[in-house]
Amino acid sequence: MGGTTAFWYASRATGIVALLLLTAVLVLGILVNRQGRLPGLPRFAVTSLHRNISLLAVAFIAVHVLTAVLDTYVRIPLVSGVIPFASGYERLWLGLGAISFDLMLAMIITSLIRGHLNRILWRAIHLLAYLCWPVAFAHSIGSSRDLQHGWMLDLAVACALVVVAAAGWRLASAARQLPRAARVAAILAQHAPHGPHGSRQAHERISR
């Protein structure tokens, strides 16, 4: 196996692993509740798991970009890995890859310095980073012929179905939650027949 061939295989392999890791990052982000928890896991464990998978994804993306640049079959400038649409080869698809990488970096960097950022700013950047997965998915399908047929296409479709299922679960869970006003009314109605003692309990539950 020649050096160029090795770089080609390495670029394809790391790209596929990066897509799987990005899928895991997105699904974790979707499933985590407002308190930053997953069923059966404490908050610190969820935060650590999400951060570590994100860092691993960035590492694989970096290797993916580097091996693609070192593959001399086509000329891809190194800057095209971070500057969108800087490559003359597959400009659109590689540009999408660079956008995805930049969004991922923004999410990780702002998460690491979260304590020094305004909460609204951090939240806006973090929500924007959710675009990372669909952009990376489009880049993967458009730039890799391998993902357009066979078992790799099945793998890509499976990633998409997992994301859709997680999003559907989160939306269904949100729809089942009563708005605050309705929740207050339900608590008051529940405790109303029990006299002053029940009213005091209801007030305590509402104020939590």
pLDDT (tens digit per residue) in 88-137: 888 898 899 999 888 888 888 887 787 788 888 888 887 777 888 999 99
In the predicted model, is pLDDT for residue 206 greater than 50? no
**Cα atoms in the 13 Å half-sphere on the side-chain side of 51:** 14
* φ/ψ of residue 38, rounded to 5: -115, 150
How much is the pLDDT for 40? 59
Any idea how long the chain is? 208
3-state helix, strand, coil in the chain (%, to 5): 80, 0, 15
Residues in Cβ contact with 37 at an 8 Å cutoff, skipping those fewer than 6 apart: 43, 46
Q: Which of 56-65, 78-87, 159-168 has the lowest mean pLDDT?
A: 78-87
Of 123, 194, 58, nearest in space to 50 by CA: 58
Report which of residues 81 and 186 the model is more confident about: 81
Of the pLDDT bands very low, low, confident and very high (cuts 50, 70, 90), residue 14 is very high
How much is the pLDDT for 183? 55
In the predicted model, is pLDDT for residue 201 greater than 60? no
In the predicted model, is pLDDT for residue 60 greater than 90? yes
Average pLDDT over every residue of 158-162 = 94
How much is the pLDDT for 114? 78
Average pLDDT over every residue of 58-85 = 87
